[in-house]
Amino acid sequence: MLLCYTIPMQTLDTLIRHWRDDPGATYRTWFLWEERLKNFRSIRRGLQTVVKEIEADTFGTQYRGSSLETVVHSIAEQRQMFKGADHAFLWKPKLRIPDIYESPDNQKAFGRFLDTCACCTGSDDLIRAIRDLDRRAIKGLGPAAANLLYFLHPTHMPPFNTAIVNGYNALTGAKVKLGKWEEYLALREGMLRLNEAHRGLLSNDLGAVAGLLFDLGSGRYTPPPREDDGAAMSAWQADLARVREESASASKALATAREGDRTHTEVQGWLRDLGRALGFDVWIAANDRSRTYEGGRLGDGCLDTLPPGIAGTPGADAVRLIDVVWFECGTLAPAAAFEVEHTTSIYSGIVRMLDLALGAPERAVQGLYLVAPDGREADVRDQLRRPAFQAVSHLNMRYLPYSELERHREAMARFGQGLRAVEAIARTL
């Protein structure tokens, strides 16, 4: 099951370069997707909540409505790579799996496993934690849990699903199977070798090589021939050409996605200009500041750094990624935070605003707003009904529809004062 391909390195380089340039492949649609990076911290925070609830005996006996469902749902939303990632954790009563809901001992073991992995600093410790969990032989809890580990340690633990396994086997001639941790660890070793051999085209983040294998395993590409066969090589190159032609339609899909980014940036720009008109100092998400907006940059005229009282809090890294934050002029106390959820994970946006609201309680935030298209109101409400967020319901997070913001923003900027105008058009959740 170790890496055993005999494909020339130059041929694999050709495949990887084509994959990187393909607008419909996972490299561009998922790996370079900015929301993927934003999800890491929220997923890690969610796993910490799972561990705390298991330790306190408050996790419960079912998946639906649990803190684990909230985290896994956030992963499964990344459909380019993780569609169906939640299937392994769904409670199947007829099979009594996975046995982390009805067995307190197994649930505790799972909690210790997550806690240990979150605190690990190297791959040796992670592998020991995996082997300790594997020895318990918890029914129905296999290496699908590796997808949780990926978001804790993306440079040590790759994602794991059927398409990745199929892609690896097709590329290398190996016979890795699903369902066992030993198989996952063998796959991991092979992926590390593959990644090292082509590091100049892949990444330290194992999501890149996993994405390549995913696209091979899902049939987007056929693997290069492993033998020195001219006819086979010509046929493979023809397949690459075919995918290139089909990518023209994928380019249209990418253009649609970019239009979504444009809309997201446009709404951030509305909030930026409104905040400044109302007399606030404005912060724009660190990874969005350089986006083009109305002939300049989205971050023009905004704060360059977070105020010291925020920058020094444990959740500062997440706060830096909040789409828009308004601060009181002079005191730089946080007045309002806005997460623009055009098509992205609502859960992650909520977690980032909670890092701001709970990270420095002595600097209470007056308003927390989820800004989303009118058609996503039900999604916003469903997320805030999750048990994971019931403990922070007192923060009074609100929903701000695009249509209301667009319709009233100019009048609010001219005649509004403080947050009153925003509160008037926002909806209580």
Q: How many Å apart are CA 357 and CA 355, to the nearest integer?
A: 6
410: phi then psi, degrees, rounded to nearest 5: -70, -45
Q: Rounded mean pLDDT of 330-336?
A: 91
Q: What is the mean pLDDT of residues 368-381?
A: 90
Domain check: are 333 and 387 in the same one? yes
Q: How many CA atoms lie within 13 A of 99 on its CB side?
A: 12
Residue 386 has pLDDT above 90, yes or no: no
pLDDT band (50, 70, 90) for residue 249: low
Residue at which a domain ends, from 217, 251, 271: 217
Q: Are residues 173 and 41 in the same domain?
A: yes
Do 149 and 268 belong together in one domain? Answer: no
Same domain membership, residue 179 and residue 274: no
User: What is the distance between the alpha carbons of residues 82 and 87, in angstroms, rounded to a whole number?
Assistant: 11
Facing residues of 334 across strands? Answer: 327
Residue 72 lies in a domain: yes
Q: What is the pLDDT of residue 259?
A: 47
Distances (CA, A) of 35 to 197, 214, 264, 414: 28, 19, 12, 34
- Residue 68: phi and psi, rounded to 5, are -65, -40
Report the Cα–Cα distance between both ends of the chain, in Å, rounded. 52
Q: What is the mean pLDDT of residues 330-348?
A: 87
Nearest to 210 by CA among 358, 25, 65: 25
Q: How many domains does the chain have?
A: 2
Asked if residue 230 belongs to a domain, the reply is no
Shared domain check, 282 and 179: no
Question: What pLDDT is attached to residue 384?
Answer: 84
Domain membership of residue 249 (yes or no) is no
357 torsion bin: left (phi>0), alpha (psi -120 to 50), beta (else): alpha
- Asked if the model's pLDDT at residue 208 lies above 80, the reply is yes
- What is the C-alpha separation between 229 and 286, in angstroms, rounded? 50
Whole-angstrom distance, CA of residue 123 vs CA of residue 107: 24
The residue whose two tokens read 């569609």 is 83
Region 414-421: mean pLDDT is 88
Q: Which amino acid is at 134?
A: D
Q: Please check whether residues 207 and 272 belong to one and the same domain.
A: no
Determine the pLDDT at residue 157. 97
Q: How sure is the predictor about 110, in pLDDT bands with cuts at 50, 70 and 90?
A: very high
Residue 408 banded pLDDT, cuts 50, 70, 90: very high
Is 241 part of a structural domain of the chain?
Answer: no
**Contact partners, residue 315, CB within 8 Å, separation at least 6:** 355, 356, 358, 359
Q: Does the pLDDT of residue 166 top 80, yes or no?
A: yes
Instruction: Say if residue 373 is preceded by a cis peptide, omega within 30 of 0.
Output: no
Task: Report yes or no on 423 lying in a domain.
Answer: yes
Amino acid at the residue 417:
Q
Residue 250 within a domain: no
Same domain, 264 and 354: yes
Q: Which residue has the tokens 């709404």?
A: 267
Mean of pLDDT over the chain: 87
Percent of the chain exceeding pLDDT 90 equals: 53
Same domain, 23 and 139: yes
Do residue 273 and residue 180 come from a single domain?
no
In a domain, 228, yes or no: no
Mean pLDDT, residues 296-310: 92
CA–CA dist 359, 313 (Å, integer): 6
Q: What is the CA radius of gyration of the chain?
A: 24
This prediction has a pTM of: 0.71
Pairing of strands 367-372, 334-340: parallel
More confident residue, 358 or 107: 107
User: Of 54 and 252, which is predicted with more confidence?
Assistant: 54
Which amino acid, one-letter code, is at 368?
L
Residues of the domain holding 329: 259-428
pLDDT at residue 260 greater than cutoff 60: no
User: Is residue 264 domain-shared with residue 212, that is, in the same domain?
Assistant: no
The larger pLDDT score, comparing residue 379 to residue 392, is at 379
pLDDT of residue 258: 47
Confidence of residue 263 (pLDDT cuts 50, 70, 90): confident
Residue 255 CA: distances (Å) to CA of 29, 152, 248, 252? 11, 31, 11, 5
- End-of-domain residue from the set 157, 186, 217: 217
pLDDT given for residue 173 in this prediction = 87
Which of 115-119, 126-130, 362-366, 425-429 comes out lowest in average pLDDT? Answer: 362-366
| Same domain assignment for residues 314 and 409 | yes
- My answer on whether 182 and 124 are in the same domain is yes
pLDDT at 364: 72
Domain C-terminal end among 199, 217, 235: 217
Residue range 74-81: average pLDDT? Answer: 86
Whether residue 232 is contained in a domain is answered as no
Neighbours of 155 (CB within 10 A): 13
User: Is the pLDDT reported for residue 353 higher than 80?
Assistant: yes
Per-residue pLDDT band for 226 (boundaries 50, 70, 90) equals low
The pLDDT assigned to 1 comes to 42
Q: Can you tell me whether residue 303 is helix, strand or coil? A: coil
| Residue linked to tokens 């369902």 | 179
| pLDDT for position 215 | 95
| pLDDT, tens digit, 9 for 90 and up, residues 167-193 | 999 998 889 998 899 999 999 999 999
Tens digits of per-residue pLDDT, 48-69? Answer: 999 999 999 999 898 988 889 9
C-beta separation of 337 from 325 below 8 A = yes
Query: What is the distance between the alpha carbons of residues 109 and 115, in angstroms, rounded to a whole number?
Result: 10
pLDDT at 152: 96
